[in-house]
C-alpha cells in the first residue's frame, strides 16, 4: 500500500506540471493581456486610469508588463511563476508563493484572495455533493428493488428530464418565481455570520434558505446519472448467489439490501465521486454568478474577464489537484469497500 501510494503521489507531480504548462501557455497565447483588458497600467504605476485610456500604451503600461513578465515569452513567464523572481525577491509556486493578483486585488497575494472566497464555495459544493448522493442512492436502490414498478418508471423519466435542463435556465426561473410569488425568500448572496447572542438554531434557520436554490441548481443534474448507475450496480449485485444465501438464512429484506447488496455496489459510485466534486467546483461558476455568491466560481469569472493570470493559474492548479486527489482517494477506498482488492 505504501509503495503504491508513493508511486501515485510521485506521478501527480509531472501531471500537475503538464496541466499548468498547458494552462499558462494557452492563456498567454490567447489575444490580449491584463493591460489591454483592464487598462490598469496607470493605476499600477500610481497614475490615473483615465490618462492611460487617452495615452494608450504608456510608460506605465510598459512598467506593468515588465513587473509581471508580460513582456517576455510565455515560457519565461511560466518559469518565473513556478520558480520565483529573484529580482523582486519573491519565491514561486515550488516555494509556496503563488504570486500576487494583477487585476482583481492589485498586489494582494493570490492565496489571500482565494482564502476569502473559498469558504462559500466549499459549503455550497459540500451541500450539493451530499444532496446528490443522498437523493440518487435512495432512488437508485428503490428503483432496483422495485424494478419495473410505476414509481421506477416515473423517477427514471423525471430525472432524465431534469438532466436535460440547463442549470442557469432553471436558476433564472427560480429567481423570477421567487421574486414574484415569494418576495421574502432570499435570492442572492449568503447570510452573514451569527450575530452576538444569536442562537445556533436561529442562525441555521436564517442560513438554509440562502442555499436552497443554488444547491438545487447544482444538484439536480447529477440525479439522473448517479441514480441510474446505482440502479444498475444494485441490480447486478442482487442477482448474485450470496444474496440468495442471505435470503435463505431468513434475513429481512432491508438487511439483505443494505448489508450485502449495497456494499458490493459501492465501487462504481466511488469511481463517480472522484470526478463529481471537481465537476461541481467548475459548474458552480455560473451558479455563483447567477445568485451573487462571493465564491471561487465568481472569482474565476472575474479572473477570466480581466486576465488575472496568477489567480487563474492558482484556481486551475487547485482544480487539477482536486481531480488527481479524488482519483487517488477513490482507488484507496476500493480496498476499504472490497478487502479482496490489493495494491501491488
Q: How far is CA 254 from CA 246, 251, 262, 334, in A?
A: 11, 8, 10, 24
Residue 272 inside a domain? The answer is yes
Residues 118 and 266 in one domain: yes
Residues 6+ apart with CB under 8 A from 212: none
Distance separating alpha carbons of residues 331 and 335, to the nearest angstrom:
7
Look at residues 74, 97, 120 and tell me which one is the last residue of a structural domain. 97
Taking CA 167 as the corner, what is the angle to CA 165 and CA 173, rounded to the nearest 5 degrees?
Answer: 85
Residue 150 inside a domain? The answer is yes
CATH number, domain with residue 125: 1.10.3720.10
Q: What secondary structure letter does DSSP report for 192? A: P
Residue from 338, 340, 143, 334 nearest 260 by CA: 338
Element (H, E) at 90: strand 90-91
Our CA dihedral for 214, 217, 219, 225, rounded to 10 degrees, sits at -170
In the chain, the number of structural domains is 2
Given its phi and psi angles, is residue 74 left (phi above 0), alpha (psi -120 to 50 degrees) or beta? alpha
Residues 256 and 122 in one domain: yes
Residues 56 and 150 in one domain: no
Residues 315 and 199 in one domain: yes
Look at residues 48, 65, 97 and tell me which one is the last residue of a structural domain. 97
HSE-up of 261 (CA within 13 Å, CB side)? 30
**How do the pLDDT tens digits run along the chain, 344 residues long?**
677 788 888 888 899 899 999 988 888 887 777 777 665 444 444 444 333 344 455 677 777 777 777 788 888 888 888 887 777 777 788 888 888 888 777 778 888 888 888 888 888 888 888 898 889 888 888 888 888 888 888 888 888 888 888 888 999 999 999 998 988 888 887 766 666 777 767 777 778 888 899 999 888 888 887 888 888 888 888 888 888 888 888 888 888 888 778 877 777 777 777 666 666 666 678 888 888 888 888 888 888 888 888 888 888 888 888 888 878 887 777 777 666 666 66
Distance separating alpha carbons of residues 238 and 290, to the nearest angstrom:
43
* 44: containing domain: 14-97
**pTM for the complete prediction?**
0.77
Amino acid at each position: 500500500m505504501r509503495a503504491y501510494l508513493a508511486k501515485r503521489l510521485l506521478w501527480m507531480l509531472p501531471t500537475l506540471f503538464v496541466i499548468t504548462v498547458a494552462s499558462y501557455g494557452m492563456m498567454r497565447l490567447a489575444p490580449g493581456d491584463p493591460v489591454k483588458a483592464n487598462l490598469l497600467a496607470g493605476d499600477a504605476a500610481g497614475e490615473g486610469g483615465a490618462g492611460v485610456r487617452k495615452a494608450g500604451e504608456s510608460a506605465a503600461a510598459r512598467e506593468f508588463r515588465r513587473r509581471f513578465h508580460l513582456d517576455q515569452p510565455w515560457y519565461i513567464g511560466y518559469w518565473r511563476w513556478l520558480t520565483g523572481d529573484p529580482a523582486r525577491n519573491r519565491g514561486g509556486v515550488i516555494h509556496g508563493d503563488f504570486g500576487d493578483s494583477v487585476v482583481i486585488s492589485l498586489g494582494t497575494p493570490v492565496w489571500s484572495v482565494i482564502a476569502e472566497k473559498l469558504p462559500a464555495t466549499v459549503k455550497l459544493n459540500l451541500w450539493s455533493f451530499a444532496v446528490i448522493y443522498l437523493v440518487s442512492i435512495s432512488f437508485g436502490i428503490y428503483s432496483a428493488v422495485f424494478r419495473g414498478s410505476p414509481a421506477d418508471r416515473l423517477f427514471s423519466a423525471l430525472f432524465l428530464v431534469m438532466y436535460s435542463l440547463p442549470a442557469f435556465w432553471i436558476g433564472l426561473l427560480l429567481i423570477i418565481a421567487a421574486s414574484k410569488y415569494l418576495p421574502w425568500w432570499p435570492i442572492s448572496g449568503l447570510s452573514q455570520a451569527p450575530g452576538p447572542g444569536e442562537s445556533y438554531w436561529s442562525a441555521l434557520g436564517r442560513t438554509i434558505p440562502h442555499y436552497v436554490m443554488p444547491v438545487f441548481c447544482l444538484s439536480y443534474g447529477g440525479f439522473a446519472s448517479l441514480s441510474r448507475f446505482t440502479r444498475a450496480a444494485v441490480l447486478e449485485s442482487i442477482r448474485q448467489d450470496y444474496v440468495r444465501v442471505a435470503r435463505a438464512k431468513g434475513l429481512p429484506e432491508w438487511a439483505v439490501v443494505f448489508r450485502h447488496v449495497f456494499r458490493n455496489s459501492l465501487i462504481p459510485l466511488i469511481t463517480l465521486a472522484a470526478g463529481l466534486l471537481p465537476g461541481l467546483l467548475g459548474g458552480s461558476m455560473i451558479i455563483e454568478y447567477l445568485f451573487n455568491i462571493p465564491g471561487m466560481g465568481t472569482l474565476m469569472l472575474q479572473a477570466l474577464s480581466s486576465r488575472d493570470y496568477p489567480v487563474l493559474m492558482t484556481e486551475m492548479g487547485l482544480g487539477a489537484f482536486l481531480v488527481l486527489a479524488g482519483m487517488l482517494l477513490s482507488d484507496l477506498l476500493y480496498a476499504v469497500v472490497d478487502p479482496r482488492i490489493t495494491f501491488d
